[in-house]
Amino acid sequence: MKYLSSEESSKDSKVAHEMVRRQVMRLAKVLVLFLALWWASIAWHSNGIQVQVWGCAWPLAGLPGQCVVAARSTETTTIFLNRAPPRAPPWCGQRSARLDQAFAPGDGAALGDVAQVPPGLARECRALDRAGPALLATAQEQPAQKAPAQAPSKGGLSEGALPGGGAPVASAAPVLDSSAKTRRLCAEWKYACEGQQRGQPGSKVRGADRAGSGKRSNVTVWYHHFHKAGGSTFVKLAQANGAGLAPYNSNGNPLAGPAPGAERVPFWEWAPSAQVGWAQKLRRAHGADMVVTEFGFPGPANLVAPGPFLYVTILREPVSRLVSNFFWRYRRFFSGEPEPRLAPGQAPNFQDFARKHVDFYVHTLAGRGEARGEADKPPLGEADLARAKETLEFGFSLVLICEWLDHSAPLLERHLGWAITDFGAFHLKENSGLKDYGLVKRSYGAEWKAKLAEENILDVRLYAQAQVMAADRLARFGLKPPGSWRRPDEPAILIADTEERKSSGS
């Protein structure tokens, strides 16, 4: 029998006491957390605010896990805590984090696109990383762009010169077809399979990262938010799954500072190297791995190919989106409040609004801005539609359809590894009582849906193509679109099923 010396016995006693102390502290934290949630839920409930909690039992077991707390009112949803579990979609591979092994032929865990990826993808991804950002460009040569000499200094979003500061950035070779697909897969792998979520125990974090994130993949989710197409819902859902936003932001759109009325950071106008360098600074300094654009999108000369960014968007039936956007823009007028966009006694004009937003999707994705009626811009044509289709097909990892969000929710789990996929938990329904369709009918008559569809024919055709893309990506992960949808033989004119029924965009 071995006897312990007094020194060894004292050491073991200290270790035991420390373990007990840590366990007591862990239990105390759990108790404080649940008491705080209980108190807050009672206080908020009396004011019409609902508290939603996912997980939050992980400290009791001392293991990493999910703890998401959101408060929802009739006007907004606020995410107070977004500690999400590590992303682990099935296609990442069961045991190995090595790209070559996860994409090995015959891997039963692989799904969809991943099952078709060649074994050498890891080598290709490393080569693409060394090559730096490329442009998602059409075949013609694009002019060189000049990066801003200094990044915006307000709010700490970025400091000092950006990469390429002031120097011309030459256009990269066009990235289409298989190369774009490879870049997309590399971005998806890095995002879904390499990085841990925010604040996960065991993460090796240095410097400013301690405040915002754990070990993270070198990828930023770029969500383009089309007005009234489910974007606000998606941003909140992303936050619940651990997405970090810029420290100063408006619905995910980065702002130049904290002051009221601070301008949005127009990073989509910058040269590719400037966009990538700025996003890297946001991730490292603030744990921000998601940015949102809602009022601008890069043109062909500075749209970075997938890799540094993982692109996501949602499209809604164009006429439904247009009408919903009109009522939202003038929501104060329809609720009887003063409307700063209108003169006293003036009513909004739907026809003027509609003609300023014709073919909104194609204008944006073709890099032509958002408005059509500007004198210095030629009318849109087939080339712009083709460009918009290429941008969606080759650039975006996820093209979701607003009317299909319930059917698409499992895709977020299987593809991106998100644990929370309930769009309904974050969707704020519009007040249909604050809509006057008489304004629409007075402008376009009883056949207003068909007339608006014809006026926005390029958007209608792009939306039809986006439905095909979305259906194909659902199928790769064993999912299906709504049963009522039928694949068109060719992009047909889809008349909006808007109306006087409640719409679902946000």
pLDDT tens by residue, 186-206: 888 888 877 544 433 333 333
pLDDT tens by residue, 303-359: 999 999 999 999 999 999 999 999 999 988 888 888 888 888 888 999 999 999 999
Per-residue burial over 17-43, b if 16 or more Cβ lie within 10 Å, else e, is eeeeeeeeeeeeebeebeeebeeebee
Strands 77-83 and 220-224: unpaired
431-437: average pLDDT? 71
Higher pLDDT among residues 114 and 33, named by residue: 33
Burial class for 243, CB neighbours closer than 10 Å (0-12, 13-18, 19+) = buried
- Say what the pLDDT of residue 218 is: 80
- Say what the pLDDT of residue 331 is: 87
pLDDT tens by residue, 377-415: 678 999 999 999 999 999 999 999 999 999 999 999 989
- Say what the pLDDT of residue 461 is: 96
Q: Which of 24-28, 57-61, 83-87, 213-217 has the highest mean pLDDT?
A: 83-87
Higher pLDDT among residues 191 and 46, named by residue: 191
Tell me the C-alpha to C-alpha distance, in Å, between residue 148 and each of 122, 164, 173, 220, 307. Answer: 33, 8, 22, 21, 22
Q: Could you tell me the pLDDT band of residue 60, with boundaries at 50, 70 and 90?
A: very low
- Say what the pLDDT of residue 500 is: 39
pLDDT tens by residue, 260-278: 889 999 999 999 989 999 9
Strands 309-315 and 220-224: parallel
Whether the predicted pLDDT of 471 surpasses 90:
yes
Whether the predicted pLDDT of 165 surpasses 50:
no
CA-CA distance, 262 to 405, in Å (whole number)?
32
- Average pLDDT of the chain? 75
